[in-house]
Structure 1
Amino acid sequence: MNLRHLLVLASVVWLAGCATAPSTSSYDGPLKPITRASPGTSKVTSLEYNSDLWERIRRGFAMPDLEHELVGSQEQWYGSRPDYIERMTTRSSKYLFHIVEELEQRNMPMELALLPYIESAFNPQAVSSAKAAGMWQFMPATGSYFELTQNAFRDDRRDVLASTRAALDYLEKLHRMFGDWHLALAAYNWGEGSVGRAIKRNERMGLETSYTDLNMPGETRNYVPKLQAVKNIIAHPEKFNIELPNIENHPYFQAVEIKRDMDIELVARLADVRLEDFKALNPSFSRPTIFAAGTTQILLPWDNAKVFQRNLAAYDDDQYASWTVWVAPSTMTVASAAQRVGMSETDLRSVNRIPPRMMIKAGSALMVPRSPQHRQDVSTHIADHGTLAFAPEITEVTRRTAVKVLRGDNMAKVASRHGVTVANLARWNDMKPTASLRAGQSLEVYKTVRVSAAPTRTAQVSKSTKASNTSKRPRATGTAKEKPVVTKVAQQARGDTPTKRKR
């Protein structure tokens, strides 16, 4: 046997020894069959992937069903309007996946993903008669409390990510207060103070305090039934002869970082999306330019995000924005401001939405074209806090006034007291400048006075900004003595609305 054969034999013996050598752990005898063990937690993540977002939503329903006759009437209303359901659900396809993801991360009931159907028909541009705005219908003060910026350039109550975060924060807060999702929803509609007082009223009377037991306004009385009706339709669309649009269980949009001020039209062009589609995903922008200091990211359709980044990298023009901001150093007329920034008065009014017969107040932030004098990107302070406020135009008019002659007066004294010349006083009264006067005699005086051409008015953005500085907590109410925190849209998209809104 040669050396090669001896080495092979030694290797085999060594491997066999390794395979049969006992481990260092204790050994209790022959191996036993593995028995079924109980899981350590009941929350086991399913390996099944649902391509249908509707099914994912249905599996997340966790609120107790509301059994009430009003649910049936709301089902009938929605069920008889399949075209309305189709428009709402198609519009929601841009936003639902994000809301579902947020709810799952917070372990909140999936019914809340349907709430924007009730609030705004999933229209982020919806505005109620009480000035509530966005998909989730935040009032200015409540939006400010939940850190939704409202200024001259953007309104985060309409922002998809920010408003969803704020709405879920608010709903979580209300659920902690009342310990019941139906009462939390009532408070979202009517106000936490109103619901709290209604509960205490029932407690004093020895009555139950559930949602259906409270004495509430008609809108709040129908609020949860509407949500229950939509839930029932989503759960079993075939029962209502409703065909839901296919919504994939996949993100519709992707957040993309921007580092320079950029025109909205340029962003849409570089991303190869229609301008209206870009605005649907970024509804908070109210001006033609996005200021990077205040908005660090934008939303783009999933497949267009890489297109934008590639085209942006290849863009060879150093100017990304056609507009910048000029802050008025003093209160001035629109014509004067337009002359200073090199614009026509008409264009300045149009871009900044300046009402007629108004002056621009000092400190107002105006959108103006970029120029060699104005090429810098807008600062963070202006992007986050810029306001636009107006004062009524002041005009001079001449008014005739009757004045009385006092004891010891002469023409010179009367003229001096009223700030006119003796010659004019004599001419207005057809008298000589040296004419004698008697006490109590009436003379006519013509004075030039400054009057406002319109009532004092401040732009809504300024009101919102003021609210953000003064609001300490969400103001909840729906009664005559209180202002509602979150009101419902008076007119939903395309004029469709389940019931007549009272607020």
Structure 2
Amino acid sequence: MPLVASADLEVHPRLQTSIPSSFPTLGDGLNIMEIGPQPELPLTIDLTLRSSDIWERVRNGFAMTDLNDDLVLHYQQWYMARPGMLRQMIERSRPYLHHIVEALEERGMPTELALLPMVESSFNPMAHSPAAASGLWQFIPATGRRFNLEQNWWQDERRDVFASTNAALDYLQTIYDMHGDWHLALASYNWGEGAVKRAVERNAASGLPTDYPNLRMPKETRHYVPKLQALKNIIGNPETFARLNLPLIPNEPYLATAAAPRPMDVKTAARLANMSVEEFRHLNPSHNRPIIKAHTPLILPADRIAIFNANLANNQAPLTQWQAYAVKSPQRINDIASQLGVSSRELIQANGLPGNVRLAAGSKLLVPGNGNLESLQRMLGMESSPAIIAPEPRARGKKGKKGKAGSAKNKKSAAGKAKAGNSRASKARSSAGKGKPTPRGKKKR
């Protein structure tokens, strides 16, 4: 009876081909069997083979040392108990993930970092924190400026997917080069590189380990890397991924950029790309105003670029319906809206104003009109808000407890002054009657 190779034999999959399914029967003598040279087996993954699924590409690029502790287990269980939330985050990542993975691979960086916006913003490009961090990668204003993200009245590039991804990877590479450890780089991204550097130096001075698990750090930073590791464990395991019914994402570019050669309304750009305004804003959340400045890249689905360019070339209508309005004397927004026959709410939203404020003379506003570009040119060159909020005028004739007290006090003071004045006038008349000269500097009453 031939001996059959056991199916339960634990053998590395790449060695299975070298094991025959059966062996020759051993008789009285020995049968001679020549064993030929074994084929060489690949020991690395061939990244030139294109995967149809972006998650397989992400898994193949995992390069960070795994973190294993109770916090990782806690967050892994926490995420797995909320598959609906995971699905929502992954659906949000759909337009951006391919671009982020591509950028990471071009730099030779670990693809685990493509999951970081899940921890930072749940892949919501409009996310805004109490600490004024904004966008997918949650840049605070100062760090955004440090990495050349434009932030002005017209645009906030912290919410621009392409610009902010480039800045985030620049920052992560910088802090990795500083520490030589990805866990410390991630802690620095959350806590600040200076704080992590001081924590490392404190441990080194005390003879303690200086790796991430052994540093003293705020609770938020202590939980930060375990969250990313938990997501890596879930997404990195195809069986878990399938069991949770998480969405697959094609390994294809989703986004591309087009140029706006002239100032263009957000609504016009959406129309030219055959998109809804809501969909366009979702991909272009960096624009603060209803007008996009000339030569600003527009982010569109890759399959809409040709449509946009063709419609733009054939467009005969004005690209913008907004124009500038100069405030000549202090006016409230409601009064300006009534004067122009437009909605005050529309003016407040378009100009980023806190409400029905009073504007000072010299202020400029974006108002609906006929798209007079000449009136817009000077305004388009302004980086800060061209609207100046004027102080409220002092109230007159209002009575209250303080007003009554102040009024009584003023009356008393006025009466005293009048009494003193009458007394001085009386003395002056008396002196004049006696032939004495009037004191210099004083007038007769």
**TM-score tier (shorter):** 0.7 to 0.9
Structure 1 partner of 2:20 = none
Return the alpha-carbon distance in structure 1 between the equivalents of residues 353 and 159 of structure 2.
22
Give the CA deviation at 1:363: 6.5
- Which amino acid in the other structure matches residue 390 of structure 1? I
Query: Is the CA contact 2:76–2:231 (under 8 Å) kept in the aligned structure 1?
Result: yes
Structure 1 partner of 2:311 = 311
Query: Is the CA contact 1:237–1:244 (under 8 Å) kept in the aligned structure 2?
Result: no
Give the CA deviation at 1:276: 1.9
Query: Is the CA contact 2:322–2:372 (under 8 Å) kept in the aligned structure 1?
Result: no
Q: Structure 2: where are the runs of 5+ without partners?
A: 1-42, 398-402, 428-445
Change (3 A) 1:66 1:362: farther
Give the CA deviation at 1:355: 2.5
Query: Is the CA contact 1:291–1:383 (under 8 Å) kept in the aligned structure 2?
Result: no
Query: Is the CA contact 2:265–2:319 (under 8 Å) kept in the aligned structure 1?
Result: yes
Q: 2:158 is paired with a residue of what secondary structure?
A: coil
Give the CA deviation at 1:152: 2.0
- Which amino acid in the other structure matches residue 298 of structure 1? L
Return the alpha-carbon distance in structure 1 between the equivalents of residues 330 and 171 of structure 2.
39
Structure 1 partner of 2:74 = 73
Structure 1 partner of 2:5 = none
Query: Is the CA contact 2:272–2:312 (under 8 Å) kept in the aligned structure 1?
Result: yes
Structure 1 partner of 2:436 = none
Structure 2 partner of 1:275 = 277
Query: Is the CA contact 2:183–2:225 (under 8 Å) kept in the aligned structure 1?
Result: yes
Return the alpha-carbon distance in structure 2 between the equivalents of residues 380 and 113 of structure 1.
39
Query: Is the CA contact 1:333–1:393 (under 8 Å) kept in the aligned structure 2?
Result: no
Structure 2 partner of 1:266 = 268
Return the alpha-carbon distance in structure 1 between the equivalents of residues 100 and 273 of structure 2.
24
More moved, 127-136 vs 348-357: 348-357
Structure 2 partner of 1:395 = 394
Return the alpha-carbon distance in structure 2 between the equivalents of residues 350 and 435 of structure 1.
66
Q: Does 1:411 align with 2:445?
A: no
Give the CA deviation at 1:394: 2.6
Structure 2 partner of 1:126 = 127
Q: TM-score, normalised by structure 2?
A: 0.75
Give the CA deviation at 1:344: 5.7
Where in structure 2 are the equivalents of 1:51-450 lying within 5 Å?
51-239=52-240, 241-292=243-294, 295=296, 297-317=297-317, 319-326=318-325, 333-334=332-333, 338=337, 343=342, 345-356=344-355, 358-360=357-359, 365-371=364-370, 375=374, 378=377, 382=381, 384-386=383-385, 388=387, 390-398=389-397, 399=403, 400-401=406-407, 402=409, 410-411=417-418
Return the alpha-carbon distance in structure 2 between the equivalents of residues 59 and 164 of structure 1.
21
Q: 1:390 is paired with a residue of what secondary structure?
A: coil
CA deviations 1:419-464 (Å, max 9, x no partner) are: xxx9xxxxxxxxxxx999xxxxxxxxxxxxxxxxxxxxxxxxxxxx
Query: Is the CA contact 2:327–2:362 (under 8 Å) kept in the aligned structure 1?
Result: yes
Give the CA deviation at 1:315: 1.5
Return the alpha-carbon distance in structure 2 between the equivalents of residues 181 and 322 of structure 1.
49
- Which amino acid in the other structure matches residue 381 of structure 2? I
Return the alpha-carbon distance in structure 2 between the equivalents of residues 381 and 351 of structure 1.
14
Q: TM-score, normalised by structure 1?
A: 0.67
- Which amino acid in the other structure matches residue 165 of structure 1? N
Query: Is the CA contact 2:322–2:371 (under 8 Å) kept in the aligned structure 1?
Result: no
Change (3 A) 1:111 1:410: closer
- Which amino acid in the other structure matches residue 411 of structure 1? A
Give the CA deviation at 1:336: 6.3
Cα RMSD of the aligned pairs, angstroms, is 3.2
Give the CA deviation at 1:329: 7.0
Give the CA deviation at 1:258: 1.1
Q: Structure 1: where are the runs of 5+ without partners?
A: 1-41, 415-421, 423-433, 437-503
Give the CA deviation at 1:341: 6.6
| Higher percent of residues as helix | 2
Return the alpha-carbon distance in structure 1 between the equivalents of residues 239 and 426 of structure 2.
99
Structure 2 partner of 1:6 = none
Query: Is the CA contact 1:237–1:243 (under 8 Å) kept in the aligned structure 2?
Result: no
Query: Is the CA contact 1:270–1:307 (under 8 Å) kept in the aligned structure 2?
Result: yes
Identify which of structures 1 and 2 has the higher relative contact order when contacts are C-alpha pairs closer than 8 Å and 6+ apart.
1
Query: Is the CA contact 1:261–1:377 (under 8 Å) kept in the aligned structure 2?
Result: no
Aligned length: 374
Return the alpha-carbon distance in structure 2 between the equivalents of residues 328 and 142 of structure 1.
35
Q: 1:157 is paired with a residue of what secondary structure?
A: helix
Return the alpha-carbon distance in structure 1 between the equivalents of residues 299 and 254 of structure 2.
10
Query: Is the CA contact 1:327–1:364 (under 8 Å) kept in the aligned structure 2?
Result: yes
Return the alpha-carbon distance in structure 2 between the equivalents of residues 43 and 391 of structure 1.
68
- Which amino acid in the other structure matches residue 73 of structure 1? H
Q: 1:304 is paired with a residue of what secondary structure?
A: helix
